[in-house]
A = this chain, B = another copy of it.
């Protein structure tokens, strides 16, 4: 965790970005007392050190005042800008199963600036269905429709064996980032960023932590 960039938010590591996400969640959920929040309160809620919070937030620019704390609204705005969620991201979702339905109903997506603008599935029985106000389209049209819809991100909730093919179509269509729930390691061109949410791996991490108890380094990033 040695990243203390002076003023360059571009240098944020993913670990730091992850902590900023957690800070934002706290700040956004608290009723701000007179509009101020302290680094100590954020640190206690997230489970990192006060110094770590102050270092992370210092990297965003001149925000807080010693002994006074941070202006909650200003802090939230600065974190959103650093993370790149001070705008709306248009995303397509491929594979309309239970996980997709759970994601579509998840309030967090829209409030954090992510808008699902298209749903795709290979199953003819699902194509044409309306799910959460969107009509499921055929995956055969994914490439051209992703371009038409101006999709920047893709969410993959397809089985592992078809995920690479879908990812290739998205990459060709100009999608810049993929959130992958399929349990495989995707190969993508360097222009396309990838975040994988592998549920079995998460459970394995939990088993690892439980098994090794206090000997495991339990940092959550």
Complex interface bits, A111-137 against B, C-beta within 8 A gives 1, otherwise 0: 011100000000000000000000000
Complex interface bits, A84-118 against B, C-beta within 8 A gives 1, otherwise 0: 11000100000001110111011011001110000
How far, in angstroms, from A207 to B219 measured CA to CA in the complex?
A: 23
How far, in angstroms, from A112 to B22 measured CA to CA in the complex?
A: 29
Could you list 26 examples of A-B contacts with CB < 8 Å? A10-B216, A12-B208, A12-B212, A14-B217, A14-B219, A17-B208, A17-B216, A21-B198, A21-B204, A21-B205, A22-B185, A25-B185, A46-B185, A85-B207, A89-B203, A97-B102, A98-B101, A108-B199, A152-B210, A153-B203, A153-B210, A177-B206, A179-B203, A179-B206, A193-B206, A194-B220
- Residues of B within 8 Å of A22, CB to CB, are 185, 201
The interface residues of chain A, by DSSP majority, are classed as helix
How far, in angstroms, from A183 to B107 measured CA to CA in the complex?
A: 10
Instruction: Say yes or no: B13 contacts A217, CB within 8 Å.
Output: yes
Q: How many copies of this chain sit in the oligomeric assembly? A: 2
A215-B11, A216-B12 given; A25·B206 CB < 8 A: no
- Residues of B within 8 Å of A84, CB to CB, are 207-208, 210-212
Instruction: Say yes or no: A183 contacts B18, CB within 8 Å.
Output: no
A99-B99, A185-B22 given; A85·B204 CB < 8 A: yes
How far, in angstroms, from A29 to B185 measured CA to CA in the complex?
A: 11
